[in-house]
C-alpha cells in the first residue's frame, strides 16, 4: 500500500533553516509527482510546490519560491523540502502529498504523509 | 490565483441526515478540451492528514463510501453526505487542480447535532 512517512517535529529559531523529508513506499517512485502543502494554525491548506520524482523538475508557489527548495533522492525514494529564513508565521504542519496518475492527475493529491510540525520560536 | 470559497464554515447535522457543502471557484475549473472539472474534495479528521474523497468533481476515490457524492461544474460545486455517520465528523476541503498555484477552500467543519 502507498505510504508517505515524514520526518519528525522540528523547533527552529527565527532566521534558521529547516529540512523535512518524506519517504515513499508501496509504489514505483519515479513517475509520480510529490507536492508539499502546509497548514498553519487556523489557516487553510496552502500549496508550496512540487517535484517530478522522475526528472527532478520543480515548480513553486510564487509565495515561497525565494525561500524553498524541493529535492529528491531516487535511490532512497525520498523527497525533501528545505525552507530558509524562517519566521514565526512559518509555524505549521507540513505535509507531503503524492500526485495522482502521472500526467493528467499530477496536480491531484491522492495520498498524504502524516505531517511534520515545524515550530518557529525564539 | 483561483480563489476557492466554501460555505458554510460549519454545520451540525443529525445522524442519518443529509449534509451539503458548497464550493465556489473564482474562475471556471472546467477544461474545455476534455470537459472535465479539475475539482477535488478532501476529508480531514481531527489529528489526521487530509484524505482524498472525490476528484473530477464527482468521481469517488476507491474505498470511499457511496454516501459521499460530488456534483457541479464550472465554478459551483457541492459535496453531499447523504446519511451522516459518526465517523464523518471532519473538516472538508475543496481543492482545484486546474492550475498552479493549487488552491484550497477554507474548509467546512461537519459535526453531529
**Span B3-18, pLDDT tens digits:** 999 999 999 999 999 9
The residue-averaged pLDDT of B17-23 equals 98
* % chain A with pLDDT above 70: 100
DSSP letter at B8 equals -
Task: Reduce the DSSP state of residue A52 to 3 states and report it.
Answer: strand
Among B20, B14, B17, B41, smallest CA distance to B111 is for B14
Instruction: Answer for the pair A100, B55: CB distance below 8 angstroms, yes or no.
Output: yes
Instruction: State the pLDDT at residue B8.
Output: 96
Instruction: State the pLDDT at residue A46.
Output: 97
How far apart are alpha carbons A85 and B41 in whole angstroms? 33
A93 contacts: CB under 8 Å, gap ≥ 6? A38, A39, A115, A116, A117, A118
Is B100 part of the contact surface with chain A (CB cutoff 8 Å)? yes
The closest CB to that of A47, out of B52, B102, B107, belongs to B102
Instruction: State the pLDDT at residue B86.
Output: 97
Please identify every stretch of chain A with a pLDDT value under 50, giving residue numbers as ranges.
Answer: none
Instruction: State the pLDDT at residue A42.
Output: 86
How far apart are alpha carbons A1 and A43 in whole angstroms? 30
Alpha-carbon dihedral angle through residues B47, B48, B50, B54, given to the nearest 10 degrees: -110
How far apart are alpha carbons B67 and B89 in whole angstroms? 14
CB distance B101–A63 less than 8 Å?
yes
Task: Reduce the DSSP state of residue A27 to 3 states and report it.
Answer: coil
Instruction: State the pLDDT at residue B58.
Output: 98
* Mean pLDDT computed over every residue of chain B: 97
Among A72, A47, A70, A10, smallest CA distance to B93 is for A47
The residue-averaged pLDDT of B14-31 equals 97
How far apart are alpha carbons B107 and B8 in whole angstroms? 9
How far apart are alpha carbons B52 and B58 in whole angstroms? 12
Instruction: State the pLDDT at residue A100.
Output: 85
- B55 interaction partners in chain A (CB closer than 8 Å): 100, 105, 108, 110
How far apart are alpha carbons B39 and B57 in whole angstroms? 5
Instruction: State the pLDDT at residue A103.
Output: 82
Instruction: Answer for the pair B33, A100: CB distance below 8 angstroms, yes or no.
Output: no
Is A46 part of the contact surface with chain B (CB cutoff 8 Å)? yes
Instruction: State the pLDDT at residue B49.
Output: 94
Amino acid at each position: 500500500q502507498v505510504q508517505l512517512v515524514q520526518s519528525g517535529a522540528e523547533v527552529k529559531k527565527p532566521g534558521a533553516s529547516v529540512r523535512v523529508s518524506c519517504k515513499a513506499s508501496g509504489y514505483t517512485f519515479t513517475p509520480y509527482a510529490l507536492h508539499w502543502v502546509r497548514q498553519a494554525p487556523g489557516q487553510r491548506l496552502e500549496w508550496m510546490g512540487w517535484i517530478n520524482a522522475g526528472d527532478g523538475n520543480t515548480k513553486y508557489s510564487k509565495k515561497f519560491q525565494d525561500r524553498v527548495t524541493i529535492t529528491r533522492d531516487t535511490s532512497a525514494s525520498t523527497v525533501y523540502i528545505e525552507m530558509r529564513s524562517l519566521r514565526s508565521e512559518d509555524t505549521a504542519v507540513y505535509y507531503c502529498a503524492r500526485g495522482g496518475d502521472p500526467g493528467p492527475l499530477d496536480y491531484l493529491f491522492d495520498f498524504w504523509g502524516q505531517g511534520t510540525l515545524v515550530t518557529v520560536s525564539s | 490565483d483561483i480563489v476557492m470559497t466554501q460555505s458554510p464554515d460549519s454545520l451540525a447535522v443529525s445522524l442519518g441526515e443529509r449534509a451539503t457543502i458548497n464550493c465556489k471557484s473564482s474562475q471556471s475549473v472546467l477544461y474545455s478540451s476534455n470537459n472535465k472539472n479539475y475539482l477535488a474534495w478532501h476529508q480531514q479528521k481531527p489529528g489526521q492528514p487530509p484524505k482524498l474523497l472525490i476528484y473530477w468533481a464527482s468521481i469517488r476515490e476507491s474505498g470511499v463510501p457511496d454516501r459521499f457524492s460530488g456534483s457541479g461544474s464550472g465554478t459551483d460545486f457541492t459535496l453531499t453526505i447523504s446519511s451522516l455517520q459518526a465517523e464523518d465528523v471532519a473538516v472538508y476541503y475543496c481543492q482545484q487542480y486546474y492550475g498552479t498555484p493549487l488552491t484550497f477552500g477554507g474548509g467546512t467543519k461537519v459535526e453531529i447535532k
